[in-house]
Amino acid sequence: MAQVHLPFSLLPMVDDQESLRVDGATAREVLAELQERYPRLAGWVLDERGALRQHVALFRDGQKIEADTPLGEGDSLHVVQAISGGAPRGEGASGAGAGDGGDVELLVSTRKGLVVLRGPRGGELEVAGRCFEGQAVEGALRDPVSGAYLAAVTHGHYGPRVFRSDDVTADSEAWEQTEGLAFPEDTGAAVERIWVLQAGEAGTLWAGVAPAALFRSDDGGKSWELVRSLWDEPSRPSWEPGGGGLCLHSICPWPGDPDRLAVAVSAAGVWLTEDGCRTWQWGGEGLVPRYLPEEARAGARMLCVHHMERAPLEPEMIYMQFHGGVYRSDDAGRSWTDIAAGLPSDFGFPLAIDPRDPARAFVLPLVADVDRVTPEGRVQVWETIDRGATWRERSNGLPSEAAYLTILRQAFCGDGREPLGLYFGATSGEVFGSADGGASWRTLARRLPPVLAVRSAGAVAP
């Protein structure tokens, strides 16, 4: 029996006990037994495979040990946050609210917590709250059915999980950890990162993770279940990761039809279901992976999609920002047409649409491929109002000199109101907004931590 000592941050999960006596022949067995005794600890030190978290270290009587090191009677096992810990490396993550009344509420996910911005639409916004300080929040949303808020949080030492709260400004400790967003044991996998949370049809919520997989919740995000049909897709062994890893980052529900869904995987292309996730079809015809040798492009499935958005009023239409190319599909994602002509760069990560106008979409071009900053030192938003036939710059009020910003794939959104509100954040810690459909812009926040995702939570009652 070993004496286990946990770091201060984990003590609330074991009823604030600083030292516990636990049976087990090895450190791994001791920790597994401790998780059985205190279920809230599950997944924090050992992941769902039973493997020690990457940024957790174990010490026995002052000496660093491995998880399978034997423990003797009376040994002291210290669990510590390894100095390698911190937010994971790599690239960065709509609520309802129609009409012009009320204030705006933005959920700004950053490398150092979730920041809530509130204020009059078109005016100055203030920080109304901040939670999960020091942790990477990959994305957040407000459930349009329950009104609850969900946040995807990656602890630098203890890995990713989803939290839920009815009050977005509540202290981190008041958020409830949800259940089930973990791989079943037989998959041999562990969730590395939660890339996106998305509201679906019929009250369903979706989560896309790395390694590329889809989870669903049918109880407002309180619990989650792996979509096994996509995980077991026969072609999965041939899927290749993109620069940010093998991740599922875009989820496009079909308005009014909960059986139809499109998802994007970097770098395994587009996957479509029309039967409630029972079966899946690949959709990538017309996408040109210019990063591959020309002779290898025909029929290639190593397709690095960066972001996708579906046009709600014409759900057969989907817009895509690709790794070199902006595309539109008119057949629900089966085939694609390049619509990038006229843009200063066809590389970028985010993309936004006007849900009231299928012909209207917005991109934020970046310099390809290594630099990945705004071209010519100018922050530029480009708009199409004719389905990509032409583009026009809409950058009045945005930084125009020596502004080398990076905007990640989940960091650009619209609010669905009239006129359309648009919002995006940069890894420089700035957040920009337009209350007139991109005609003019203003800086809404400065000096935040690097922004990973921006989501409109809809109107806030005055």
Mean pLDDT across the chain, nearest whole number? 91
- The whole-number average pLDDT for the span 282-296 is 92
Contact 69, 61 (CB under 8 A): no
**Predicted local confidence at residue 156, as pLDDT:** 84
pLDDT digits (tens, 9 = 90+) for 241-257: 988 899 999 999 999 99
pLDDT given at position 356: 94
Mean pLDDT of 126-148: 96
CB neighbours of 422 closer than 8 A, spacing ≥ 6? 352, 362, 381, 412, 413, 414, 415, 433, 434, 437, 438
pLDDT reported for residue 82: 55
CATH class of the domain defined by 2-81: alpha beta
Taking the C-alpha atoms of residue 412 and residue 406, their distance in angstroms, rounded to an integer, is 11
What's the pLDDT tens digit per position in 23-73?
A: 999 999 989 998 999 988 888 898 888 888 877 888 887 677 889 999 888
Q: Are 161 and 43 in contact (CB under 8 A)?
A: yes
Band of pLDDT at residue 100, cut at 50, 70 and 90: very low
Q: What is the pLDDT of residue 455?
A: 97
Give dist(CA 152, CA 109) in Å, integer.
9
Q: Residues with Cβ < 8 Å from 3, sequence gap 6 or more?
A: 19, 20, 21, 74, 75, 76, 77
In the chain, where the domains are located = 2-81, 103-460
Q: Decide if domain 103-460 falls under CATH 2.130.10.10.
A: yes
Least confident of 84-98, 144-158, 232-246, 367-381: 84-98
pLDDT reported for residue 386: 98
pLDDT at residue number 459: 52
8 Å CB contact between 38 and 56: no
What digits encode the pLDDT tens for the residues 296-355?
Answer: 889 899 999 999 999 999 999 999 999 999 999 999 999 999 999 999 999 999 999 999
Q: How much of the chain exceeds pLDDT 70, in percent?
A: 94
**pLDDT at residue 93 tops 50:** no
Over residues 275-291, the mean pLDDT reads 96
Q: What phi and psi, each to the nearest 5 degrees, are found at residue 127?
A: -75, 110
Q: In DSSP terms, which residues pair with 196 in a beta bridge?
A: 208
Q: What is the pLDDT of residue 101?
A: 46
Is the model more confident about 91 or about 416?
Answer: 416
Residue 416, amino acid:
G
Query: Which of 93-97, 120-124, 158-162 has the weakest average pLDDT?
Result: 93-97
Give the pLDDT confidence of 403-427 residue by residue, as tens digits. 999 999 999 999 999 999 999 999 9
